[in-house]
Amino acid sequence: MADFLVLRFAETPTEPVEWVLVDQSGAQHGPIEHGDLMAVTEAAENRRVIALVPGTNVLQTSTHIPIRNKSKLLQALPYAMEEQLAGDVEDLHFATGKRDVDGELPVAVVERLKMDAWLEQMSALQLDLAGVYSDSETLGQMPNTTVLLVDAGRATIREPDGKTAASDAESVSGLIELWLNAAKTSDDESLPPPINLLVYLTTDYEARVQPVLESIRSRLATLEVLLLPEGGLPRMAAQAVTSPGINLLQGPYAPKSKLTTYWPAWRLTAALMAGLVVLMIGAQMLSNAALNRQIAELDQSIEAAIRYTFPEVREIRDARALLDSKLRGMGSVTSGSNSNHFLDTLTTVAEAFSENKNKITRIETVNYRSGVMEIRLLAPNVEALDAIRQIISEKSSLEATIQSANPEGDKVRGRLQINHTGA
């Protein structure tokens, strides 16, 4: 299945573009297509797009600059190269590649107006843009061999060290001559170095370029000419996927976060997740509030029981420590174990009163001796008294029995005895 659509822009915006589908290895899927950008939209569906722009619009150069931080490098680069460029650096966009072993940094320079124009055309189609590259960099490098491509109105040269130069096809002879002059040795300029030249041509330019090549054949070590019936795009597309060169989408043109792209599809899911989180937090808060109420009620019951038993107590800060101190002072206990029995029993009674739905039952006195607690209380009826007895017996290892239940007006005064099971 084709994973990429490689789109090649023409020299002028009014000319048709061409594109081809390729997979991750650069293998071609389907024929070369031509048309306007609107025709690209359907073919680009569910595919990443690689855009190739005319190499005649992109200056390929290099510089030696020690800055390693990417953002700082892109800020300093225009001013470091200002003397090498004819235009105003404020109107130019700079992109960098990987440094070579000598620390030399490859640089691509293009007018911002041209970058804006290319990207504006593609953004209108909402293409999934993977990169923008100069088509001159996608000729590929060959050891000891210079590659020349003449097609689509352009002539492009790429030298073995990766340096590129481009011109319109009408100026191919001048481009070749400049390249040959630059390749001469410094020892004897009359003798050219051994140069291997591989030329790719479309049939449209065969008649025009062949005479130029024949005129320089004697100055070359080898010359090979290959015809490209479909043009240079298949070769460029394969190179663009596997080793494309400098991606011009850097600095202010770097891809933005795709969150805004995918947000509409995930908005409902995100809203449901947020609602679930709020619901869980709310449920936990309600649960904590209920537990806090139960703790407060339990504390009130314990405090009420202590005040009934020890009416002289004014302030209760630590109920367990207070009871232990009081019981030791009364001589009622001889060990911490017995005081713990008393406090555990009292805690169970307080919990029983807290769980009892009838809140008007009131403790009058509490007596504890030899592990047995007696409670005198005033209840609205016998059923309320028996409910407290059942809760104590069922929720603990204690055994509660009703010793008496005497009517008193519209209430019942009762006496409850609580023992440890088996006592």
Q: Which domains does the chain have, with CATH numbers?
A: 4-255 (3.30.420.380), 275-420 (3.30.1360.100)
- Higher model confidence: residue 85 or residue 354? 85
197: pLDDT strictly greater than 50: yes
Per-residue confidence band for 187, with pLDDT thresholds at 50, 70 and 90: very low
- To the question of pTM greater than 0.75 for the whole model, the response is no
Q: Using 50, 70 and 90 to split pLDDT, how confident is the model at 108? A: very high
pLDDT above 70 for 357? no
Out of 102-111, 160-169, 195-204, 232-241, least confident range: 160-169
* Nearest residue to 234 (alpha-carbon basis) of 3, 22, 54: 22
Confidence of residue 264 (pLDDT cuts 50, 70, 90): low
124 — pLDDT class (breaks 50, 70, 90): confident
pLDDT value at residue 258 = 55
Q: Which pLDDT does position 7 carry in this prediction?
A: 94
Cα→Cα distances 323→16, 306, 371, 374, Å: 96, 8, 15, 16
Q: Answer whether 138's CB lies under 8 Å from 245's CB.
A: yes
Strands 105-111 and 196-201: unpaired
Give the E-state strand segments of 126-272 in sequence order: 129-134, 146-151, 154-158, 164-168, 196-201, 222-227
Per residue in 202-238, pLDDT (tens digit) is 988 999 899 999 999 998 999 999 999 888 999 999 9
Tokens of 239: 């190179």
Over residues 397-416, mean pLDDT: 88
Which helix (H) or strand (E) element contains residue 210? helix 203-216
